[in-house]
Amino acid sequence: MLFEYTRRCGVRSPVTDAATFKVARLREAPFGLCSDSKTNSVDLTDLIDSSYNYHSPRELRWHLAERFGLAPSAVALRESA
């Protein structure tokens, strides 16, 4: 399953002192479409906690896998501009 997300700024992590990000928009994007094409994509933003501060795209991928009952290897991410 391919997800396309848009970042928004988060805060510095009090644990790791690293920059974090929040997800402003999350879409399920069909494979094979150009990254600028929004046709046939499904907006899933309301299905996740948009206030959570992610440390990396990998962490986001694991959260999406858990949320949608998928294996992490079945989740692909693409960041939109």
Residue 7 clears pLDDT 80, i.e. is over it: yes
Rounded mean pLDDT, 43-64: 93
With contact defined as beta carbons under 8 Å apart, do 5 and 79 qualify? yes
Place of tokens 């501009």: 81
Place of tokens 């795209």: 57
Distance in angstroms (rounded) separating the CA atoms of residues 28 and 14: 31
Residue 27 clears pLDDT 90, i.e. is over it: yes
Question: Percentage of the chain surpassing pLDDT 90?
Answer: 65
First to last CA, the chain: 20
The pTM is what? 0.81
Distance in angstroms (rounded) separating the CA atoms of residues 18 and 14: 8
Q: What pLDDT shows up at residue 16? A: 85
Q: Which of 1-5, 16-20, 29-33, 35-39 has the largest mean confidence?
A: 1-5
Tokens of 21: 């990000």
